[in-house]
Structure 1
Amino acid sequence: MIVTTRYGQVMGSVDDGVAVWKGVPYAAPPVGELRLRAPREPAPWPGVRDATAFGHIAPQTEQGPLPIDPGLTIGEDCLTLNVWSPEGAANLPVMVWIHGGAYFLGSSAQRMYDGRKLVTEGQVVLVTVNYRLGALGFLDFSKFGDFDSNLGLRDQVAALEWVRDNIAEFGGDPSQVTLFGESAGGGSVTTLMVSPAAEGLFHRVIAESSPATSVYGAARAESIAERFLELAGVDASKLRGLPVSEFVRVCGELVQEIPAKVPGTLALAPVVDRDFVPHYPVAAFQKGLAHPVPLLIGTNHDESSMFKLMKSPLMPITPDKVHEMFQAIAADHPDMRADEEIEVEAAYPEHSKKRTALEISRDAAFRMPTLWIAEAHSRRARTFLYRFDQATPFLRITRLGAMHGTEVPYVFGNFGVVPKDPTFKLGGHRTALEVSTRVQRRWIDFAYGRDPWTPYGEESRTTLLIDKHDQEVEDPDRELRRAWGEEILGFT
């Protein structure tokens, strides 16, 4: 199927009633003089461009925890997107997916993000986006030369501008765009909600497991960029000639080193540059500065267990590391109460110290930022809060539970795409399909502008608990809110 975009024609494929276009450029290749610069429009191309295969995925380690499917290639020329649309579609709501991966891993080509089931079930147009990752996308070298900040986020905005200008040709309605993402993708979308550059480019937002407080100030960002230059053994003038493999190698060192030194922090994250991101996102929500669009937001019941399973340094999951995290937060917030850590720990009275550490880490990184955002945004626009509790028998018996990211296959309806996935080793597939059907219906209802469940408000604080049987519960996080308080606890 051939479609005409502003930059040229693209030929996709049609299979079982779904039209798919892959690897469509939304920006010029960020190479040469455009490396570490804001994205530019792609050059028009002659003739018909083949769009039946995914484009390059952003530079990243090939030995990471997210397997790279056979046939995919890694390359700096990675600013492409993919479109799934029901054959013959016209004026359908559009859902734009921002993948996760801690800002240094992942791609839109992961099999879990195949859009056929979501598009068929929901009668929506789905767009999945590649954006720059790692040091090329989320380190801020702007203090060291002619470089731009927040490059990965700027890429996402460029993709949204492409959607605005082109998606009608693919059967989508550019006035009904839902931006959604998970983990780093969730953090991206909550950050874009407070970015002036993104205003008007989306009309609804779904944030799954957003690490919304993992957005740091310019001074911290500058110090990490400086550390990159030390580890790479170059000065900033050599960055445009540095091999991509060096960016990936040094990024891998930083990903390990930074959270080891300051537990609870990331090496790579959006930056409050006072321009593209003018304010810390959670604080901006509390001040009523976020774009007033409807928001569906939530977390998983056992976010941190995945990081324990993978022995990942990205979250502090031992009592000692959690204590170090609180000490570091206190150093960033001199006015913080001296007994804050003790009061927070008191909210987890029934667990061992190890289990308490996991839950404190989960709530510091994901649940509390989500609650702070939901509380604030509900005063400004319709807000819907959830907690994903669903776990298969295998995940429950191994005490992994509803780990970080386990809701994603329920959203897309794609199970069993990860090699050697033991998730259904002890059964539970039928229940998972039933839960997936409900999750998809709620997400799609939201994309159509319908209430997926009772909105969150400061009086009832209605929260949807997603499990084998969904429940709407009033204020299930009451004790957490009392323990952590309204003051944002995060790093600056």
Structure 2
Amino acid sequence: MYILLHSSQRRYHRGKGTKKMAALDNSIVALLVSAVFLSIANISLGSPVLTTTLGEVFGSNREEYNVVVETYHGIPFAKPPVGNLRFKAPEPAESWGAEQLNGTIKPKACWQAIDKAFDRFEGVEMWNPNTPRDEDCLYLNVWRRAPQPGDSPKTIMVWIYGGMFWSGSAVLDLYDGSDLAARKDVIVITIAYRLGPLGFMYLQNNPEVPGNAGLLDQVMALKWVKDNAANLGGSPDDITIFGQSTGAVSVGFHLLSPMSKGLFKNAILQSGSPTAYWAVMKTNKMVERVSKLAANVSCPVSLGDGLLSCLQGVDPEVLTDQQWILVDKWFDVPIGPMVDGNFLPGHPDCLLENGDIQTTNVMIGVNLHEGNIPVLYGFMDDFPLEEEGRPDRDPFRDILLAIADGDDSLQEELLTVYSSEFPDANKRRMRILDAAAGDSLIKCAVLDFTRAYTLLGGNVYMYSFEEKFKSNPWPGWMGVPHGYEIEAVFGVPLNAGSVNPDDEKDLTKAVMELWTSFAKNGSPTYQDVEWPAYTIRFEDWVKIRSKGIDIIRRPRKHSCRLWAHHLR
């Protein structure tokens, strides 16, 4: 909820409460308004205040590790993308005047489907939105140490969430920036962006809906951060963007996009690459999918100029639910990023080949078992969570064939290549599926991007995260799956009541230092660890685990050569 101290600003109020308010008796309205003012007055007493270019925001204080951390939730960086602004590029937020904005309430998540897989057990539920969903969702959140006299400008780290471009939230408990701000003295910002059809709708020959609105939301947020860096206590020239999964893909897009030049200094890509075969949708495929989606919500493309207004009138939940009719593979983004000629002037492979991009310092990496969760979700009938992840022969071959996109010869090649890597017959089938899926979806694309970006002169630091934390809710056979380095980055194992043993807490401290030292200095450092930049000659990367942080030379390449031949 976006609560202001003056009723004239009610145009920014989130949700449907305004219509209901108008129907109430005047006396009840008066009581409610009085209660809101009293509540806000109580919250404001002693609350920290942040001055932005659009107005003041009051937040909340919390002591973390003997320092005071200020939190400001729900700061608008764009106008609510509702009504005739649905699907369109974001427009800058307007000033809310002299009154203070309430920054103590988490904003709503952008509209998305709720994941109900596996009876919504903890490993699923932790990724679902923890606030209501709404189209009015373009807000950001700030964590910083309470400013002190004589402070130098601090490094700003901007988090971009993942979720396959159809899910995600900037205020998940996992993304709480207070530990990073308290322990490492950086300013942490999480930003929201539109998802699914609402964020990536494309209407051919309609310049008002050119696609990639969700990515343009990110650009708008980064502009807000740069414009407000000094107000935050940071430097506009010391901004690092970091993200995981499709958040990492987004970070990669910003490295390639002319629209993002100058908005950040360093970049961290966790388990994602803009060069992944699924990251960019071909225009003809997007046109086909939009046509199918539109017809299914009673807005046929034959409406011509009336198509946009028709789609803008469809309930957001209906649009979100109907996107699943578009999926035709085991791993598929229903509606997502595309080459639009502006934000993405060309395919990432072509942009890297041409070299007309921003080169800077990049940290990029993967988790040990990237493929397990995609395989589990794609074929959940074959993998009951309570079992040991050992598929029978026939389901195993069927799944491998699906990963090979129905190519029988590729399936046999994959079986030959990966069988030699896993001698343990008891675990071989699951490990083959994990490796094949992980390589094709993430790992090989990460390696491709690392090599290409290094050749252009970028400084790249590559890692593999290989620690399964005790707090990880998934079965042991899942290993170190996609997404489960994030808790270390944000310091979750250090929280009070944590079940993590001391070695995992020590590793968490190391990860936080590696990530923030990279953000501050452009290279990751921790105690006596020497993390060399990736080079074409030596191809150094580091293995991160509680046993130690070790330098490894030459990551897996043979399987990636195999995938490179088939994925383009």
Q: Which has the higher mean CA deviation after the structures are superposed, 302-311 or 371-380? A: 302-311
Q: Give the aligned residue type for 2:466.
A: D
Native 8 Å contact 2:58 2:103 kept in 1: yes
State the match for 2:387 in structure 1. Answer: none
Offset, 1:234: 1.9
Q: How does 1:7-156 map to 2 (within 5 A)?
A: 7-16=54-63, 17-46=68-97, 47-64=99-116, 65-67=124-126, 72-88=131-147, 90-143=152-205, 146-156=208-218
Kindly indicate whether structure 1 or structure 2 has the higher relative contact order, using CA contacts under 8 Å at least 6 residues apart.
1
Aligned equivalent of 2:236, options 174, 180, 189: 174
Offset, 1:318: 5.2
State the identity %: 26
* Residue 296, structure 1, aligned to residue 359, structure 2: no
CA distance in 2, matches of 1:464, 1:10: 42
Offset, 1:339: 6.3
State the Cα deviation string for residues 80-122 of structure 1 (Å, max 9, x = none): 0001111115410110000111111120110000011111121
Q: Radius of gyration: which is bigger?
A: 2
TM-score by length of 2: 0.76
Q: Which has the higher mean CA deviation after the structures are superposed, 358-367 or 138-147? A: 138-147
State the match for 2:50 in structure 1. Answer: 3
Structure 2 unaligned residues grouped into runs of 5+? 1-47, 117-123, 301-306, 381-394, 423-427, 525-530
* Residue 210, structure 1, aligned to residue 282, structure 2: no
Offset, 1:70: 8.9
* Residue 368, structure 1, aligned to residue 447, structure 2: no
State the Cα deviation string for residues 32-77 of structure 1 (Å, max 9, x = none): 1111100001111121111111112101124544457897221111
Q: 1:358–1:283: structure 2 CA closer, same or farther, 3 Å change rule?
A: farther
Q: 1:41–1:428: structure 2 CA closer, same or farther, 3 Å change rule?
A: closer
Q: Which has the higher mean CA deviation after the structures are superposed, 408-417 or 239-248? A: 408-417
Q: Give the aligned residue type for 1:300.
A: N
CA distance in 2, matches of 1:210, 1:9: 36
Q: Which has the higher mean CA deviation after the structures are superposed, 56-65 or 115-124? A: 56-65
CA distance in 2, matches of 1:439, 1:462: 18
CA distance in 2, matches of 1:322, 1:197: 40
CA distance in 1, matches of 2:59, 2:102: 7
TM-score by length of 1: 0.88
Q: 1:318–1:211: structure 2 CA closer, same or farther, 3 Å change rule?
A: farther
Q: 1:66–1:228: structure 2 CA closer, same or farther, 3 Å change rule?
A: farther
Aligned equivalent of 1:270, options 302, 319, 337: 337
Native 8 Å contact 2:167 2:195 kept in 1: yes
Q: 1:71–1:183: structure 2 CA closer, same or farther, 3 Å change rule?
A: closer
CA distance in 1, matches of 2:166, 2:55: 31
Q: 1:152–1:21: structure 2 CA closer, same or farther, 3 Å change rule?
A: same
Aligned equivalent of 2:322, options 250, 253, 258: 250
Structure 1 unaligned residues grouped into runs of 5+? 331-337, 418-423
State the Cα deviation string for residues 18-40 of structure 1 (Å, max 9, x = none): 11111000001001111110000
State the match for 1:475 in structure 2. Answer: 554
The alignment yields a C-alpha RMSD, in angstroms, of 2.8
Q: 1:415–1:222: structure 2 CA closer, same or farther, 3 Å change rule?
A: farther
State the match for 1:436 in structure 2. Answer: 508
State the Cα deviation string for residues 189-247 of structure 1 (Å, max 9, x = none): 11121111111111110000115322122111112212211222223341111112212
Aligned equivalent of 1:390, options 459, 463, 467: 467
State the match for 1:464 in structure 2. Answer: 542
Q: 1:104–1:195: structure 2 CA closer, same or farther, 3 Å change rule?
A: same
CA distance in 2, matches of 1:21, 1:437: 25
Native 8 Å contact 2:494 2:508 kept in 1: no
